[in-house]
Structures are given as C-alpha cells and as structure tokens.
Amino acid sequence: METVTLWDKLKLQIDNLELMHEQHKAGQDVSTSVYWQVEYIHEILSSLEDKLGASKIRGEYIDLD
C-alpha cells in the first residue's frame, strides 16, 4: 500500500487548478472552486513548512526565482 504524501496532495491540487483553467477557458464560472483550491494548497504548503522547515523548502527551490 502506497502512502499519499503532502507532495502527492499538492500535485493533485495543481492538476485540479489546471482542469479549472480549461473549464474557465470554455466559459464556465469556476471562481468559487479556484478560491477553495488555493486555500487548500495554502494549507498543504503550510503543513510542509511546519514539517520540513520553510528554509529547507526555499533552499530546495531557490533556483526557481
């Protein structure tokens, strides 16, 4: 049995946002859904910062700035 990690949850939420973007381009109103997705992503990121330490996460992705 595989363990679902916070990274897996974050990837799923990003995939959901991409789907909502496609729905938006098709003319559907997804504003409420996007709001809740962003809130959930924020919760996941906060949890990662709490578990790993914000400086460790930033250090891993410093080259993305």
Task: State the pLDDT confidence band at 8, using cuts at 50, 70 and 90.
Answer: confident
CA of 62: how far to CAs of 4, 11, 38, 54, 56, in Å? 25, 19, 22, 12, 10
DSSP string, 14-43: HHHHHHHHHHHHTT---HHHHHHHHHHHHH
Mean pLDDT, to the nearest integer, of 17-21? 91
Q: b vs e for 14-26, b when ≥16 Cβ sit within 10 Å of the residue's Cβ? A: eebeeebeeeeee
The model's pLDDT over 32-45, given as tens digits with 9 standing for 90+, comes to 888 888 888 888 88
Task: State the pLDDT confidence band at 4, using cuts at 50, 70 and 90.
Answer: confident
Mean pLDDT, to the nearest integer, of 12-24? 90
For residue 4, what is the DSSP state?
P
